[in-house]
């Protein structure tokens, strides 16, 4: 099987290279009108098919590696390094992406899978897809070169084959970890498609904005995968790393957030291009930057350039990534300079108080956030280069900038949909802003008795409570504005159809899925902000607990009922059984664990969490007291965390709705299908009958 | 086993890529007329959205009137250019047919 895997990778490389070269030659022939023995259409068709073939070959290679993991083939060095016999079957599958070479294979496979869908759907716009397919083939060549030469996953172990493997990193032996990396990769890799379309459209000076319509769904799907990947990572960090938080501004976390920020900016600003033919250069550069940041993020993770809990060891492939990054950047700049006159805006910003300006501010803020994170992430590298000493920026640096930026974004989320395109009059502002402002005022006053005291920023120098208060106030504004949008639209539908209000809301959403799905996404984002602002009120307590001893945190009393240890083939574990009481009533029993994995001799904290809408009681087994042998228990009371996960689910739902075609478009498509299916004479006869 | 699988993969993919396809899709560049039709549809969508938002009570009368007028002007210019190009497109084959008859 390793030989078949290696051969498949080589075939995938050859097919990708052919797809790139034949595609480029065919497009050049079409552009210049020069013909040779083979027609450009025929050549382009073989290039398209070679791209599809590369997906088949990459699938064979991925299958060969997974097969090697399932059959415990430790003659393959990668499997010996990242799997072992006792490993649970679902984690054997995860071995595909648990190491450098395997995860690069996953990257390449996903890239060809996206390419497969793009090439199969080429009839949507044959020439534009041919450009995109050729560009995608170029990216494929790079990744297949990597996994064929410096980072092949099928290299064999030197010397005798070991009887068992080193096992999977314990941190990755967690159910969500089986889907978190593929989701992130789907997000990272997926941005290659809108990038390829944007670059292709610019190269061929594509007239109009239809390429945006074609790529819109790709971009949304990709954005959704990246969002889900990031939040699964947060959920994993919260439940596995055992430090009580979910985001640590780790370089690899930052690497995933940066393309997400520019991708979010693109999803917003692209509407200005579709609606008003504005911001064309900006949009092209946003999607170029998003792809480049995805490559930069992969470079960070792969090269060992920065230290991170996620990063792979120092490796020579960093140089390969740098070269690829520079080549892509050069191609982007060159193509842009050559064709920049094609990207002239059809309209200009008419007023600072308009939907366009709110999108512009939204973009600027997202970009500032991205640059701040980029600077912080690369600071250790830059400080080492300029000062000879590696200095790392801690979370406080990011929080000082990210929190106000986040609050401003929340503000824009609220006001953007209330503003009109072109310009908004004062009367319109008064008309639309009154109800949300009243709701915001009510919440601003209403949260004060619950301990949210904004004045502590002045009296005690504490920013947390102040920002939480602003967040709650703005959240009320945004949520009211969103509900008002649904309510107003539904009333119009209700007036015409006589449906119930709920039925009208459904009809309204189906009528313009993108807009109302988008509002649901905004609602999800508001809930995420509310959840994050709960951090300002976190509490924690640590205690060595003997049998039946209690500790109190917030409204909870935790009583230690037992502590013991156990072991199986994969790990040894120590755990405590803790009864949790509130107002004298037992609410749950928690069992935090500390595992030591046999193969890797690495420890893993298994968090016990009692989650409610108000707060999470998050308990970890921090180890044994050396003197008494009793468990050291650390408890955190984290308010509102559940709203983050609920907000993510609503965001997913909203994006899913936005991906559904509008009712009118679907009906039109259905009508055209029916008309096409009916023989012409029947249609003519029907018309005559009318 | 690996050798047989590799051979089958190679032959299968080679045949798939280079098997002649008489119906290779024509690589045709988009015309200005197609572009203008897309633009017209887009403007109509914008008008529909504006009307709906106005009926929902989102904009005051004068804002609505100004925005509608601007969009209608833009749509009228686009439709006029479409008409012109369509007339030219129809006229070209007719003229060619006329010359060949003569």
* pLDDT category of residue A310 using cuts at 50, 70 and 90: low
The dihedral sign for the CA sequence A521, A526, A530, A535: positive
Q: Is residue B10 part of a domain?
A: no
Q: Is residue B12 part of a domain?
A: no
First to last CA, chain A: 68
Nearest by CB to residue B63, choosing from A127, A206, A425, is A425
Looking at the fold, whether A138 and A192 belong to one and the same domain comes out as: no
Any idea how long chain A is? Answer: 690
Strands in A26-116 per DSSP E: none
Q: In whole angstroms, what is the distance from residue A216 CA to residue B33 CA?
A: 23
What is the CA A305 to chain-centroid distance, rounded?
Answer: 22
pLDDT at A686 over 50: no
Looking at the fold, whether A204 and A313 belong to one and the same domain comes out as: yes
Q: Is residue A651 part of a domain?
A: no
CA geometry: angle A618, A621, A622, nearest 5 deg: 110
The per-residue pLDDT for range A443-460, each reduced to its tens digit, is 999 999 988 888 888 787
Mean pLDDT, rounded, for A506-517:
92
Confidence (pLDDT) at A665 = 58
Q: In whole angstroms, what is the distance from residue B86 CA to residue B33 CA?
A: 8
Confidence (pLDDT) at A527 = 97
Looking at the fold, whether A155 and A185 belong to one and the same domain comes out as: no
pLDDT at A668 over 60: no
Bridging pattern class, strands A603-606 and A593-597: antiparallel
Q: In whole angstroms, what is the distance from residue A18 CA to residue B17 CA?
A: 10
Q: Are A195 and A290 in contact (CB under 8 A)?
A: yes
Q: How many beta-carbon pairs under 8 angstroms link A with B?
A: 122
Candidates A141, A137, A161, A157; CA nearest to A149 is A141
Domain boundary among A134, A168, A202: A168
- Could you count the other beta carbons within 10 Å of the beta carbon of residue A73? 20
Number of domains in chain A: 5
Q: Is residue B74 part of a domain?
A: yes
* pLDDT category of residue A684 using cuts at 50, 70 and 90: very low
Looking at the fold, whether A553 and A490 belong to one and the same domain comes out as: no
The per-residue pLDDT for range A616-626, each reduced to its tens digit, is 999 999 888 88
A350 three-state secondary structure: coil
Range of the domain at A666: 660-690
Looking at the fold, whether A8 and A143 belong to one and the same domain comes out as: yes
B61 close contact with A: CB closer than 8 A: no
Domain boundary among A493, A511, A529: A511
Q: Which residue of B lies nearest to A45 if distances are taken between CA atoms?
A: B24
- Measured N-to-C along each axis, helices A2-32 and A126-148 cross at an angle, to the nearest 10 degrees, of 140
Cα of B81 to nearest chain A Cα, Å: 15
pLDDT at A30 over 70: yes
Q: Is residue B4 part of a domain?
A: no
Q: Is residue A530 part of a domain?
A: no
Nearest by CB to residue B46, choosing from A39, A50, A275, is A275
The per-residue pLDDT for range A214-235, each reduced to its tens digit, is 888 889 999 999 999 999 999 9
Candidates A14, A32, A11, A10; CA nearest to A22 is A14
Backbone angles phi, psi at A246, to 5 degrees: -130, -5
The per-residue pLDDT for range A233-260, each reduced to its tens digit, is 999 889 888 888 888 888 888 989 999 9
Q: Is residue A520 part of a domain?
A: no
Q: In whole angstroms, what is the distance from residue A623 CA to residue A633 CA?
A: 8
Range of the domain at B78: 29-101
Asked if the Cβ–Cβ distance from A4 to B29 is below 8 Å, we say no
Asked if the Cβ–Cβ distance from A30 to B62 is below 8 Å, we say no
Q: In whole angstroms, what is the distance from residue A530 CA to residue A413 CA?
A: 14
Looking at the fold, whether A250 and A345 belong to one and the same domain comes out as: yes
Q: In whole angstroms, what is the distance from residue A115 CA to residue A48 CA?
A: 9
Number of domains in chain B: 1
Q: Is residue A519 part of a domain?
A: no
Q: What is the DSSP letter of A157?
A: P
Nearest by CB to residue A44, choosing from B13, B27, B52, is B27
Q: What is the ipTM of this complex?
A: 0.79
Looking at the fold, whether A337 and A196 belong to one and the same domain comes out as: yes
Buried b / exposed e across A427-439, counting CB within 10 Å, b at 16+? ebeebbbeebbeb
pLDDT at B99 over 70: no
- Could you count the other beta carbons within 10 Å of the beta carbon of residue A559? 17
Q: Are A72 and A155 in contact (CB under 8 A)?
A: no
Confidence (pLDDT) at A674 = 53
* pLDDT category of residue A633 using cuts at 50, 70 and 90: very high
CATH number for the domain spanning A550: value is 2.60.98
Looking at the fold, whether A300 and A430 belong to one and the same domain comes out as: no
Residue A139 backbone zone (phi > 0: left; psi -120 to 50: alpha; other: beta)? alpha
Looking at the fold, whether A235 and A351 belong to one and the same domain comes out as: yes
Looking at the fold, whether A99 and A142 belong to one and the same domain comes out as: yes
């Amino acid at each position: 099987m390793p030989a078949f895997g290696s051969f498949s990778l080589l075939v995938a490389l050859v097919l990708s290279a052919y797809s790139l070269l034949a595609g480029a030659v065919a497009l050049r022939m079409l552009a210049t009108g020069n013909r040779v023995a083979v027609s450009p259409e025929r050549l382009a068709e073989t290039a398209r098919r070679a791209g599809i073939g590369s997906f088949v070959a990459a699938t064979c290679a991925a299958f060969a590696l997974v097969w090697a993991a399932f059959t415990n083939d430790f003659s393959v060095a990668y499997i010996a390094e990242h799997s072992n016999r006792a490993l649970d079957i679902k984690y054997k599958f995860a071995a595909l992406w648990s190491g450098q070479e395997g995860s690069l294979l996953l990257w390449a496979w996903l890239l060809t899978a996206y390419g497969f869908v793009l090439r199969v759907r080429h009839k949507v716009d044959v020439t534009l897809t041919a450009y995109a397919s050729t560009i995608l083939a170029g990216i494929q060549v790079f990744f297949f070169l990597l996994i064929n030469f410096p980072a092949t996953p099928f290299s064999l172990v030197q010397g005798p084959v070991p009887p068992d493997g080193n096992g999977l990193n314990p941190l990755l032996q967690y159910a969500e970890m089986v889907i978190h990396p593929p989701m992130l990769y789907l997000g990272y890799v997926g941005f290659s498609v809108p990038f390829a379309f944007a670059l292709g459209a610019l190269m061929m000076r594509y007239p109009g904005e239809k390429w945006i319509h074609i790529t819109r769904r790709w971009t949304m799907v990709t954005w959704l995968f990246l969002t889900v990947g990031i939040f699964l990572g947060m959920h994993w960090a919260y439940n596995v790393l055992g430090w009580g938080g979910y985001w640590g501004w780790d370089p690899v976390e930052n690497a995933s957030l940066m393309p997400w920020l520019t991708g979010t900016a693109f999803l917003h600003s692209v509407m200005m291009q579709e609606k008003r033919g504005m911001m064309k250069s900006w949009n092209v550069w946003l999607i170029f930057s998003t792809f480049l940041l995805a490559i930069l993020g992969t470079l960070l993770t792969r090269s060992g350039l920065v230290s991170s809990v996620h990063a792979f060891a120092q490796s020579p492939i960093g140089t390969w990534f740098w070269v690829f990054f520079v080549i892509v950047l050069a191609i982007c700049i060159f193509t842009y300079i050559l064709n920049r006159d094609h990207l002239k805006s059809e309209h200009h910003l008419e007023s600072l108080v308009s939907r366009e300006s709110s999108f512009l501010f939204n973009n600027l803020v997202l970009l500032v956030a991205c640059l701040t994170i980029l600077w912080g992430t690369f600071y250790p590298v830059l400080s080492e280069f300029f000062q000879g000493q590696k200095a790392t920026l801690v979370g406080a640096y990011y929080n000082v900038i990210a929190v106000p930026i986040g609050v401003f974004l929340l503000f824009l989320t609220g006001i953007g949909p209330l503003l009109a395109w072109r310009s908004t009059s004062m009367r319109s502002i008064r008309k639309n802003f009154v109800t949300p402002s009243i709701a915001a005022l009510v919440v601003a006053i209403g949260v004060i008795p619950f301990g949210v005291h904004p004045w502590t920023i002045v009296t005690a120098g504490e920013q947390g409570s102040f920002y939480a208060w602003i967040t709650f106030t703005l959240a009320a504004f945004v949520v009211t504005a969103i509900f008002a949008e649904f309510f107003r639209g539904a009333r119009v539908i209700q007036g015409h159809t006589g449906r119930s209000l709920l039925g009208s809301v459904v009809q309204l959403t189906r009528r313009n899925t993108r807009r109302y799905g988008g509002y649901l996404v905004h609602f999800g984002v508001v809930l995420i902000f509310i959840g994050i602002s709960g951090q300002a009120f976190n509490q924690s307590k640590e205690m060595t607990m003997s049998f039946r001893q209690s500790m109190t945190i917030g409204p909870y009393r935790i009583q230690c009922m037992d502590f013991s240890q156990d072991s199986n083939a994969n790990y040894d574990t120590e755990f405590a059984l803790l009864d949790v009481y509130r107002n004298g009533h037992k609410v749950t029993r928690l069992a935090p664990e500390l595992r030591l994995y046999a193969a890797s001799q690495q420890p893993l904290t298994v968090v016990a969490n009692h989650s409610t809408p108000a707060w999470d009681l998050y308990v970890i087994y921090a180890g044994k007291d050396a003197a008494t042998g009793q468990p050291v228990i650390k408890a955190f009371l984290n308010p509102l965390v559940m709203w983050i996960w609920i907000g993510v689910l609503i965001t997913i739902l909203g994006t899913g709705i936005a991906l559904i075609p509008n009712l009118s478009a679907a009906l039109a498509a259905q009508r055209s299908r029916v008309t096409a299916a009916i023989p012409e004479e029947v249609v003519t006869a029907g018309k005559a009958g009318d | 086993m690996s050798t047989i699988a590799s051979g089958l993969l190679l032959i299968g993919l080679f045949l798939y890529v280079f098997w002649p396809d008489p119906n290779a899709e024509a690589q045709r560049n988009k015309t200005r007329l197609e572009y203008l039709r897309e633009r017209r549809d887009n403007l109509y969508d914008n008008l529909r959205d504006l009307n709906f938002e106005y009926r929902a009570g989102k904009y005051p009368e004068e804002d609505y009137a100004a925005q509608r007028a601007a969009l209608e002007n833009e749509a009228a210019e686009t439709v006029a250019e479409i008409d012109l190009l369509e007339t030219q497109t129809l006229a070209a084959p007719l003229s060619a047919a006329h010359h060949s008859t003569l």
